[in-house]
A and B are shown apart, each in its own frame.
Chain A
Amino acid sequence: MIAPLEVETREDMVIVRAAGEIDIATAGQLRDGCFAAVTNDSLGLVLDLSRVSFLDSSGVRALFVIAERLDEHRQHLALVVPDTSHIRRVLGIVNIEGSASVHDTIEDAGARLRDGIGRGAAR
């Protein structure tokens, strides 16, 4: 259901690319995979959901948990979700913007992480 996460560690951030469907069966993999990927010295995590075709409340819960954990370490979660994706609608309903930022592209998300230095996570 969910493809293995692709992890790319850059100088100041970690990019995780997820693909497939995130639901009650797979949300745990996403959460654990992200925890494992984030390094201590990075500004935060860019989680690319562009190729995720389905996200339910279990997936949403995982995103909130990841954001919370990062925030404890003064790190930020930036999500990449295409404008046309149904996932945008779900994230809007649960008001994810209070915990993580949502962007069209990885570049935008990366820029948000760098701009956010000193301001902490968007809470």
Chain B
Amino acid sequence: MAAAARLKRDVPDPGDRLRGWIVRALPQGRGLPAGAWERRHRGLLAILWIHVAFVPLFGITMGYGVGHSALEGMLLMAAALAAHSGRLGRRMRSTLCSVGLLTASGLLVHFSGGFIEFHFHFFVMIALLSLYVDWVPFTVAVAYVAAHHGVIGVLDPEAVYNHPDAIAQPWTWAAIHAAFVLAAGAANVFTWRISEEEALRRENVERVTEAALAKLPLDDLLSELLRRVSETVGAELASLWLTGPDGLKLRAVHGAEVPGAPPCLSLERGLHAEVVARAEPVAVAEVEPGELESELHRAAGARALAGAPLMVEGGLVGVLDVASRRPRRFSETDLGLLQLVADRIGPAIDRARLYEEEHRIASTLQRSLLPKRLPVVHGVDLAARYLPAGDAVAVGGDWYDAIELGSGRLAVVMGDVAGHGTEAASLMGQLRTAARAYATEGHSPATVATRLNSLLAGLEDGSMATLLYLELDVPSGRATLVSAGHPPPLVRRRGGAVEYLETKPAAPLGARAHTVYAEHALEIGAGSTIVLYTDGLVERPGESLDDGLDALMSRFGSAVLTTAEATCRDVLGPGEGPLRDDVAVLVVHLVDVPGRSLRGEYPSEVTAVSSARRDLERFLRTAGVPEMELQDLLLGCAEACSNAVQHAYGPEGGRFRIAAEIEAGIVRVTVSDDGTWRRFNEASGGGRGLPIMNAIVDDVDVRRTPQGTRVTLRKLVGEASDDRAA
């Protein structure tokens, strides 16, 4: 493996190790945020200015000349002024202020005549200087003290020291002073380091708990959190695994590319298995590439790993890990941080799962409440489509139905319950059932709408729904339409003219206790196609409703009308991303020449079989038989016709006949001849015709008499075949 080969075993030399230890023990001097530095610098400068005023006064009090005292004061003032200058860098200004303050200490010692008590001033200043949290001013200050004591101590011992030993051996005592200053420095450094660590920890925690992250979409949140955790812990790779049926499955990764399907990880052994088993953070400081369970980690050359469980309500939902390409020990702090991030991701993942679940439930419920199949009505080709919204909260409430009323009459229904989710879907189911019940009881369209309105208003939960109810007398092409606040249906007449039907809509169902629903009589006419739809089809993002209606009209106008199913597809147009709202479409095509039965006679020749088949196809299509069932019937008919051609007559030939009719959802096709049945010659490889017929239609009846053979095929089609399945 290429990535693993790149890895060399990493043996640090002892010198490096010591250096590393010292570097880790010392504060990093990461500096202060600009605002904090500004405040601290101002405070320290104020202290320096107090010294500018006070030190010369002290000199005069101690009997030094005004000129001498003033000159020393000017020195401090120069340092203070320079430290104010905005033109100098931050570090330079810190250093100038530090030097100024320590000079003040030196001067106080000098004016006091080397009194021990005035040396305490140094220690106060050292402590103050550590406020800068910066190595440069600090080091300069300590060096300055040592140099000052040494040099001035030699030149004028009594200005620095006030006891005979020191005056006699100024360098020894300078060293003693410098040692104490260094010790004070070390003590301060230690405090500084501790507070820096604390600050870093707090900062890291803040980085991963930042509230603003919660607003990100889940994928962005995950990639941001993985990036931050890998940076703060100092590991190159971070990955998130979720529990699934086959162990763990990768959900997100930082620091590696994963092309193709997300990899899975078995839980038989390895760090992830341990995290899952113990449900607590686990770290491995050094692991050989060959011991890694995960392909992802092997490819990335991971040598040290740490993982933490994702817990939601006491249950484990996944594992978050970080990996480093060099062996290293993950500290308790690292593990704590990792767990913190895992605890943050867990609920987010859980929410996303709930959300997907909600979407699935709402759309499944919605679909289960819509008709599985539409009825087969002679002279009408029907097709419908329902597309759920991409967003869980937007699913549900659209419905359609087609109800056979007998005597060539058909009711088509399109509705939309206001609101979304499982509640809207279940209310839709109730309305659909109620509409079906009222319609089959023989009520007029207006009565159906009025009753639905009373029903919905009576529920007293403020629910509303729009409704379009169209009753169609198929043989005459006359229709009656009622609209309860629903968008108008679209019709394309036989000549190709497209228009929205005028509906004069009344209030939506449930809006008022008593609404009068008026019926509109229309002439639809054979050869016309009507499209019923819900507003999701015409309300598209960034478009006005009028634009949406115009676009639908032009899609419908330019569609090549073949079958209702194809028209459905054309009207829906190309899908562009997830839908914002549900869409339901129902297409009703009034077939041109509605004949109620088929009769045909053909010469007993092999080429006639396809003619018979074609005639049957036209008849079945006209009757609106669904595609799969139509194909089955054509095949069954072809087998029966082929048998008649092959077996009925001798070389002199004869004729065969087909007849077909549809009644109560059953298609009956009869193929008959006047010949005598000759047995199959099994050796010729035949004999598959009858098994095929038996497999694709519901009943095959073969009657052979000396006068001829009659094969009758029966098949339930459309809605009727579903009723049987149920």
Residues on A lying within 8 angstroms of B by beta carbon are 1, 21, 23-25, 54, 56-58, 60-61, 64-65, 86, 89-90, 93-94
Contacts and interface: CB of A to CB of B under 8 A. Distances in A.
A61 B696 contact: no
B695 interface: yes
B685 A65 contact: yes
Contact of A57 (B606, B610, B631, B642): B642
A104 B327 CA distance: 50
B608 to A, nearest CB: 9
Contact of B607 (A25, A57, A93): A25
B609 A23 contact: yes
Given A89-B696, A93-B692, A93-B695, A54 B634 contact: yes
B34 interface: no
B439 interface: no
B112 to A, nearest CB: 98
A64 B635 contact: no
B692 A24 contact: no
Nearest to A68: B685
A93 B607 CA distance: 25
Nearest to A1: B610
B610 A93 contact: no
Contacts of B628: 86, 89
Nearest to B605: A25
B563 to A, nearest CB: 15
B612 to A, nearest CB: 11
10 contacts: A1-B607, A23-B610, A23-B613, A23-B638, A24-B646, A56-B692, A86-B632, A89-B696, A93-B691, A94-B692
Contacts of A58: 642
A64 B607 CA distance: 22
A39 to B, nearest CB: 25
Interface string B193-233: 00000000000000000000000000000000000000000
Contact of B642 (A21, A23, A90): A23
A56 B642 CA distance: 9
Please give me the 9 A-B residue pairs with the lowest Cβ-Cβ distance, nearest first: A86-B631, A25-B606, A57-B688, A57-B689, A24-B642, A93-B695, A56-B638, A24-B606, A25-B607
Given A61-B688, A94-B692, 13 more contacts: A23-B606, A23-B642, A24-B606, A24-B609, A25-B607, A56-B635, A57-B639, A61-B686, A64-B685, A89-B632, A89-B696, A93-B695, A93-B696
B48 interface: no
Contact of A90 (B609, B686, B692): B692
Contacts of A1: 607, 610
B687 to A, nearest CB: 8
A89 B633 CA distance: 13
Interface centre among A54, A56, A89 (most CB of B within 10 A): A56
Given A54-B634, A56-B635, A56-B642, A25 B610 contact: yes
B645 interface: yes
Interface residues of B, number: 23
Nearest to B645: A24
Interface in B580-626: 606-607, 609-610, 613
A24 B643 CA distance: 10
A24 B610 CA distance: 9
Contacts of B639: 56-57
B691 A94 contact: yes
B395 to A, nearest CB: 27
B649 to A, nearest CB: 14
Nearest to B689: A57
A59 B613 CA distance: 15
Nearest to B693: A57
Contacts of A57: 639, 642, 686, 688-689, 692
A85 B634 CA distance: 14
B605 to A, nearest CB: 8
A62 B632 CA distance: 20
A1 B608 CA distance: 11
Contacts of A24: 606, 609, 638, 642, 645-646
A87 B695 CA distance: 14
Contacts of B695: 93
A65 B684 CA distance: 10
Contacts of B691: 93-94
A10 B324 CA distance: 52
Contacts of B692: 56-57, 60, 90, 93-94
Contacts of B634: 54
Nearest to B637: A56
A117 to B, nearest CB: 28
Nearest to B688: A57
Contacts of A94: 688, 691-692
A24 B613 CA distance: 12
Nearest to A21: B610
Interface centre among B634, B635, B696 (most CB of A within 10 A): B635
